[in-house]
Structure formats: structure tokens, C-alpha cells
């Protein structure tokens, strides 16, 4: 490969999470030039990612404003802008293009760029959405069934680009002038080399992701009293109202830089901090990228399994509430999960993590049973994982997630499935009801293939295809009703959607193969959740009741 294109038109944190993929591609293709297409607002972030040879900013806000203008001249100007950008990108002659943006606009862009190897979101020749890689398809399916979230976003990025293993951390270059500015800010605040600086990221992209002001104040006061910490208040311009409420509560201990630094300066300030306390935010990923330990708070729609801090030995505190995580499209009217993460628990986490005292963290986790404590790391295949801290057994959903993860590692990477330590016989019983439905659908798929190979009458082929559609509808309805089958069947749906081409026989064969693979995946998941009683590794089930299956 000589030219590689990465398209990520999303947010600050998502760009930082692209950095291991870029580093991995550079290691595999050292002579290739890597271009990153980003929203203009985040071009400076992209320029700080090692391995990027060219940043290609797109002013999408201006394009939107131009099109909304509505006059003929406005629409012509928008058209010519798009034509110019697409033409220039197409002329680059990229060998590989990977799209990490799931928008329809980005899918059209990738199709029109026309790289011979295009992965991620693009379009088929008939104009329908296409997700052109199985790891990208699994990411899309996981986004719709997040309670099973088997992998971290970064690992989806890496695998879709063909990076196996690769760096086990994020990357960001802090410029010397940004370090100088950060040092000046801290010196002006009276911070010395011996002063512990704990950074607090106050805001988040959505209100439901914001920890309460009073919790930040209580945490800051306790950290000042116990370890003499200074509290660095971080955030963007939109977080200023939060800082105006938190800073007075902390008094002289606060160093308020909220909305007053560039991205580069934020990176430098986080680099100097001993810990960052944050919800699931872009600055969380920035702290990881500059090597600062993170105590991350997960509540609302956030989960440590899929968007946790990508590196070793970070700490994730997850609110243990029955409704977690929220659906991204739901506005919670009573987000009590935020109060579940008590300031006292977070203070213990910060102090013990700063000291590297994992034994103290384990004891603390047992004192706060309404919180799940996790330590970040990687498994034998280099995939991000989290390890529970403390003695409490896993919930049934955590056990299900482990089993689902093993199924997809076996399916996509060919690894030997690792059996969960607990069993879920009731969930396995639910999945056994799926087996005959999947078998019947496979039979129908085989019938379609036979008729197609025989070049049978179009009426027979149409009738067989409709019968298969009805069987598939039964499968999809089962997945919508029964959580244990949700991710497998959502992935199956996406895989079927992406079977294309003009050769009817090839389409029929690919469809039959997908149905056979689905049967194998269901059987494997059942075996992982409820192995035969003769197996020596059969263990007791998890700690939760199963009223959800009633």
C-alpha cells in the first residue's frame, strides 16, 4: 500500500481513539502515506496524532449553513464545494480507505472516492448502505445492543483496518510550546513539582453524562484535605457554567482553566496531572494518550466495556443500577445513577490509584457495593478488556457479555473460546428455543440456492425467497424479544444486508453460508452458557435473579 485514507468525521475523543490504528498501519506499511479526513473543528487534534502524514479538514458546518440557505446560488455553491473535495480525494488514488463515521453523508463520500479496498460505511451500487467489513458490521450491531458490548471501540477500529494486536494505548504529541504554556499556568497558580494536581473534567457531550456539581465539590474538598491536592478544572467553553459553580465551592484549591485552553494545552496540563477524574469524555481519551492515569465514572449511557480508557491500569467505576446503560436515544427523566457514584468512593479510588495500591482498591470496592470497580488491561490476543476488582461475583449480564465476546473472537479471529466462570442455564434455555428456527431458515436458504443453481423458474425462486424472508423475520423478532439472542441476530441482519452483487447463485450461496454460520454461533453460545454437566469447568451461576426472563 502506498496511500491510506482514514475518515473520522466524529468527535474529539473518537479521533484520539483512532491513534492506535494509525500507528499500527504505519508499522505494517511504513512506506504508505496516511491521510486523515476530519471535521475542521478537530483538525488540530488530528495533527497531534503520530503517523498522520496529511490532515484533510472538511468544513461541514459551513456546508450545512450553505445548503440551508436555500437559494439556487447557495445550492450551486455547496454542490461545487462537494464536487471539488470529492474530486481531489478521488484523484489521490488511495489504495485503502476506512470510514469510521456511520453517517449517510460519509458513506456517500467513501463510495465516490472509489478506493479499491473500502471498509466501514460506504454504499452499494444501488444506493443502499453497505458496511464493508465484518468487524465494522459487528461494531454497528453492538451499538444497537450495547448491554452485550463485547469489544472496545478502538479494537473495532484496529481490526477493521487490518491491524492485529498493535499498540495497547492511545497516542497524542504534546507540542513544546503547549508544555511551556501549561507550566506557566500552573506556576502562576502556585503549583510546585511536589504539588499533587488532580484534574476534574466537569462537562460531557450530554447532560445525562455529567456528574453533579455538588459531587465534584465534595470530591475536591476531600482530596485537598487528605493529600493536599490542587484541583484542575477542565472543560470546553460550553462547560463554563459548571466551572462557575464548582470553583467557588473549592476556593483556593481550584485552578480553573475550563474553556481557557487549546486542545494542545489541555493535553499538556493533563500530562502534568497525577490523575484525571472524568465521565466518558474526549479529555478522558486525551489523558490516556498523554500517559496520565484515569479514574473514569460510567453512568447513564456509558459503559466501560466499549468506550473505557484504552490502556493498562486505568480505573472504571460503573454505577450498578438495573437499567444501565441507557439507550442513546432515550432521555432519562430521573438519572439517579449519577448519585450512585458517591464522592467518598471516588476519593478512595483516586487516592489508592495514585499510590498504585490495588489491594486498597479491592477493599474499597467491597465497601461500595452499589458500584462496580474495574481495572483496564488486555487479553492474550491484545484486545482491550476490564477485570473486576473485589470479591463480588459477576452479574448475569456480565457473564452473557463474556460468552458473547468468546463467540465473536472464535468467529472473527479463530481463537479458542474462553469459557465464562459462571453459567447461565436459563439464558441457554432461551437460546435453545432459537435452534429450530435457525435450522428451518437454513433449510429454506439451501432450497433457494438449489433453485438458483438449477436456473429454475423465476416463480419458484421468488416463492422460495419469500419463504426465507418469513423465516428470517421470525429470527429477527426472536432477537428483538430475547436479550441473549439480540447481538447475534443483529449481526446476522447486517451480514445479510451486505450480501450483494449481480450473480444470483453467488448471492444464494453466501446467504446459505450465513445461515449455517448462525447455527454454529448459537450452538457455541449455548455451550458456553450451559456446558454439559460432565464438564469439570461447570461452575455456579451469577448473583442476579432472572425476573427479566419471566
Instruction: Pick the last residue of a domain from 372, 392, 412.
Output: 392
Q: Are residues 356 and 398 in the same domain?
A: no
- Cβ–Cβ under 8 Å, residues 22 and 36: yes
Residue-level pLDDT at 549: 34
Strands (E) in 281-392, as ranges, are 294-298, 315-319, 371-378, 384-388
On whether residue 168 sits in a domain, the answer given is no
Q: Are residues 185 and 136 in the same domain?
A: no
CATH assignment of the domain containing 82: 3.40.50.2000
Calpha distance 545→264 (Å, rounded): 48
CA 104 to chain centroid: 19
Q: Are residues 23 and 58 in the same domain?
A: yes
Residue-level pLDDT at 540: 43
Residue-level pLDDT at 76: 86
pLDDT tens, 440-465? 999 999 999 999 999 878 999 999 99
Calpha distance 218→347 (Å, rounded): 9
Q: Are residues 469 and 545 in the same domain?
A: yes
Residue-level pLDDT at 63: 78
Q: Are residues 398 and 388 in the same domain?
A: no
Number of domains in the chain: 3
Share of the chain above pLDDT 70, in %: 95
Q: Range of 385's domain?
A: 176-392
Calpha distance 217→343 (Å, rounded): 9
Q: How would residue 334 be classed by pLDDT, with cut points 50, 70 and 90?
A: low
pLDDT tens, 55-103? 999 988 777 777 776 678 888 888 888 899 999 999 999 999 999 998 8
Q: Are residues 278 and 343 in the same domain?
A: yes
Closest-CA residue to 229 (of 339, 315, 355, 314): 355
Q: Are residues 384 and 400 in the same domain?
A: no
Q: How would residue 372 be classed by pLDDT, with cut points 50, 70 and 90?
A: very high
Q: Are residues 498 and 472 in the same domain?
A: yes
Q: Are residues 264 and 388 in the same domain?
A: yes
Q: How confident is the model over 533-544, as a mean pLDDT?
A: 48
- Rounded to the nearest integer, the mean pLDDT of the chain is 91
On whether residue 129 sits in a domain, the answer given is yes
Q: How would residue 541 be classed by pLDDT, with cut points 50, 70 and 90?
A: very low
Q: How confident is the model over 496-513, as a mean pLDDT?
A: 92
On whether residue 171 sits in a domain, the answer given is no
Q: Are residues 103 and 212 in the same domain?
A: no
Q: Are residues 376 and 281 in the same domain?
A: yes
- Cβ–Cβ under 8 Å, residues 458 and 427: no
Residue-level pLDDT at 55: 97
Q: Are residues 352 and 450 in the same domain?
A: no
The pTM of this model reads: 0.92
On whether residue 169 sits in a domain, the answer given is no
Q: How confident is the model over 513-528, as a mean pLDDT?
A: 97
On whether residue 167 sits in a domain, the answer given is no
pLDDT tens, 250-271? 999 999 999 999 999 999 999 9
Instruction: Pick the last residue of a domain from 105, 129, 160.
Output: 160
Neighbours of 200 (CB within 10 A): 28
> pLDDT higher for 215 or 68?
215
Amino acid at each position: 500500500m502506498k496511500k491510506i485514507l482514514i475518515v473520522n468525521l466524529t468527535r474529539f475523543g473518537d479521533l484520539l481513539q483512532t491513534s492506535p490504528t494509525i500507528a499500527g498501519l504505519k508499522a505494517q506499511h511504513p512506506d504508505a502515506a496516511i491521510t486523515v479526513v476530519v471535521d475542521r473543528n478537530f483538525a488540530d487534534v488530528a495533527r497531534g496524532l503520530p503517523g498522520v502524514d496529511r490532515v484533510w479538514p472538511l468544513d461541514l458546518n459551513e456546508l450545512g449553513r450553505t445548503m440551508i440557505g436555500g437559494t439556487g446560488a447557495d445550492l450551486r455553491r455547496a454542490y461545487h464545494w462537494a464536487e471539488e473535495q470529492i474530486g481531489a480525494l478521488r484523484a489521490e488514488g488511495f489504495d485503502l480507505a476506512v470510514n469510521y463515521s456511520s453517517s449517510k453523508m460519509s458513506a456517500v463520500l467513501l463510495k465516490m472516492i472509489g478506493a479499491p479496498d473500502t471498509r466501514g460505511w460506504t454504499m452499494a451500487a444501488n444506493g443502499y448502505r453497505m458496511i464493508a467489513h465484518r468487524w465494522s458490521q459487528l461494531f454497528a450491531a453492538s451499538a444497537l445492543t450495547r448491554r452485550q458490548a463485547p469489544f472496545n471501540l478502538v479494537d473495532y477500529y484496529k481490526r477493521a483496518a487490518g491491524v492485529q494486536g498493535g499498540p495497547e494505548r492511545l497516542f497524542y504529541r504534546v507540542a513544546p510550546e503547549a508544555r511551556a504554556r501549561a507550566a506557566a499556568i500552573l506556576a502562576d497558580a502556585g503549583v510546585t513539582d511536589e504539588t499533587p494536581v488532580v484534574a476534574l473534567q466537569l462537562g460531557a457531550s450530554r447532560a445525562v453524562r455529567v456528574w453533579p456539581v455538588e459531587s465534584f465539590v465534595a470530591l475536591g474538598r476531600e482530596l485537598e484535605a487528605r493529600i493536599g491536592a490542587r484541583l484542575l478544572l477542565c472543560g470546553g467553553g460550553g462547560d463554563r457554567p459548571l466551572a462557575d459553580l464548582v470553583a467557588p465551592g473549592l476556593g483556593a484549591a481550584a485552578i480553573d482553566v475550563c474553556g481557557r485552553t487549546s486542545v494542545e494545552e489541555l493535553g499538556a496540563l493533563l500530562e502534568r496531572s497525577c490523575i484525571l477524574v472524568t465521565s466518558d469524555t474526549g479529555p478522558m481519551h486525551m489523558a490516556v494518550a498523554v500517559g496520565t492515569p484515569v479514574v473514569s465514572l460510567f453512568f447513564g449511557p456509558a459503559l466501560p466495556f466499549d468506550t473505557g480508557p484504552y490502556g493498562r491500569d486505568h480505573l472504571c467505576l460503573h454505577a450498578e443500577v438495573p437499567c444501565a446503560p441507557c439507550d442513546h436515544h432515550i432521555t432519562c427523566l430521573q438519572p439517579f445513577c449519577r448519585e450512585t457514584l458517591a464522592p467518598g468512593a471516588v476519593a478512595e479510588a483516586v487516592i489508592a490509584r495514585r499510590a498504585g495500591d490495588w489491594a486498597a482498591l479491592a477493599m474499597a470496592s467491597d465497601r461500595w457495593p452499589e458500584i462496580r470497580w474495574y481495572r483496564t488491561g488486555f487479553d492474550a490476543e491484545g484486545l482491550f478488556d476490564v477485570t473486576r476488582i473485589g470479591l463480588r461475583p459477576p452479574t448475569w449480564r456480565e457473564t452473557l457479555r463474556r460468552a458473547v465476546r468468546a463467540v465473536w473472537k472464535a468467529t472473527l479471529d479463530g481463537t479458542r473460546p474462553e469459557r465464562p466462570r459462571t453459567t447461565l442455564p436459563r439464558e441457554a434455555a432461551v437460546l435453545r428455543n432459537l435452534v429450530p428456527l435457525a435450522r428451518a431458515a437454513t433449510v429454506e436458504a439451501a432450497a433457494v440456492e438449489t433453485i438458483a443453481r438449477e436456473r429454475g423458474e423465476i416463480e419458484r425462486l421468488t416463492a422460495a425467497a419469500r419463504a426465507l424472508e418469513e423465516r428470517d423475520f421470525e429470527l429477527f423478532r426472536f432477537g428483538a424479544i430475547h436479550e441473549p439472542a439480540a447481538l447475534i441476530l443483529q449481526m446476522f441482519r447486517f451480514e445479510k444486508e451486505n450480501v450483494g452483487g449481480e450473480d444470483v447463485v453467488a448471492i444464494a450461496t453466501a446467504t446459505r453460508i450465513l445461515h449455517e454460520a448462525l447455527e454454529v454461533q448459537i450452538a457455541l453460545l449455548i455451550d458456553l452458557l450451559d456446558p454439559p454437566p460432565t464438564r469439570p469447568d461447570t461452575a455456579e451461576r451469577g448473583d442476579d435473579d432472572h425476573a427479566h426472563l419471566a
